[in-house]
Structure 1
Amino acid sequence: MKKTIGDKIRKIRRESGLKQVEFVAALDIDRSYLSKIESNRIKPGRDLLIKIAKEFNVSLDWLITDTDDTSTPKNNDEALLLYAFRNMPKDEAKMHLQLMLQRVENDIKK
């Protein structure tokens, strides 16, 4: 089942152990606005999504897409690698993944 942006924001808030009042204070927004977002009555704007991603260390990509990956790339190279992997044909992505895992495995054996 696809999670909405509101579902994901509620998940971030709950996993952070914050009540709505604490969460909105960290983001400098109104509680009623957050309530509407979490109940999927409205979608947050781009600036708020960026602020949430930075403040709570989640991927902006995760917030706005159907992916369940909450990790944030560590640097531009990692972000580009992830972008390339997600956008190549599945058989090609599988081949590249196998090559990378083989390389890591060989390095561990040394």
Structure 2
Amino acid sequence: MKDVTTIGGRLKEILFVKGVSAAELSRKVGIERGYMSKLLNNKIKNPHKNMTQIAKTLNVSYEWLMTGVERTGTYERDYDVEGIVNSKLQKIGFFETGMPISKFHKLIYNDESINIVSTKKLGAGNYLFQNGEDIIELFRVDNFINLAWYPHEPEKDYIPIGKVITKISKEHINDKKLKLVEG
């Protein structure tokens, strides 16, 4: 096994295992061979440009390629999407994306949009709450003196889901990438 403590070492290892040449990878990703050589020889300190595409092309996780640590053991492309069914938040489908999503984030389907929600972040912004069969979105405003919610304060029976980090609206969701369970 080659030295996999560097990005270049990990790239060399996966190219060897997959039987792919650096020139072939350069063509597939659409980058110059000189740039690929610099990546392989660790001449670029903190490479980010094209790394997601390289990981996708080689079918390895972005996290492993960048850090050497595998998050789940396989490259995740399908992430569970949750929604309300019988007054419970549960898996209702999956969303295919090449975008790495933190294990601390949930994908919540609401109002024909996918909300990437953090259970760890706080502060001003949109938050999702469960209220029986409904998902309620409220906006939190923080300032030095007080904390306010719009259009109203969360009710006592609202169950917090998390803070909305990103919302992917239905216009930007390819039907082939979002599969919801019929039921």
Are the equivalent residues in 1 in contact too, given 2:10–2:68 (CA < 8 A)?
Answer: no
Question: Where does residue 83 of structure 1 map in the other structure?
Answer: 103
Residue 39 to residue 47, structure 1, CA distance change in 2 (3 Å): closer
How do 1:33-48 residues align onto structure 2 when only pairs under 5 Å count?
Answer: 33-43=35-45, 45-48=47-50
More displaced 10-residue stretch of structure 1: 36-45 or 5-14: 36-45
Question: Where does residue 54 of structure 2 map in the other structure?
Answer: 52
The one-letter code matched in structure 2 to 1:61 is E
2:76 to 73, 76, 98: 73
Are the equivalent residues in 1 in contact too, given 2:15–2:21 (CA < 8 A)?
Answer: yes
The one-letter code matched in structure 1 to 2:58 is F
SS in 1 for 2:76: coil
Give the TM-score normalised by the residue count of structure 2: 0.38
Q: Which has the larger radius of gyration?
A: 2
Please say if 1:18 is aligned against 2:10: no
Structure 1 alignment gaps of length 5 or more: 85-110
Which is strand-richer, 1 or 2? 2
RMSD (Å) for aligned C-alpha atoms: 2.9
Residue 35 to residue 74, structure 1, CA distance change in 2 (3 Å): closer
Are the equivalent residues in 2 in contact too, given 1:5–1:63 (CA < 8 A)?
Answer: yes
The share of aligned pairs that are identical, in percent, is 29
What displacement does 1:49 show? 0.8
Question: Where does residue 32 of structure 1 map in the other structure?
Answer: 34
Which 4+ runs in 1 deviate beyond 4 A? none
SS in 2 for 1:61: helix
What displacement does 1:20 show? 2.1
Question: Where does residue 104 of structure 1 map in the other structure?
Answer: none
What displacement does 1:47 show? 4.0
SS in 2 for 1:55: helix
Give the TM-score normalised by the residue count of structure 1: 0.59
Give the number of equivalent residue pairs. 83
Distance 1:27 1:2 in 2: 21
Question: Where does residue 90 of structure 1 map in the other structure?
Answer: none
Question: Where does residue 133 of structure 2 map in the other structure?
Answer: none
Question: Where does residue 66 of structure 2 map in the other structure?
Answer: 64
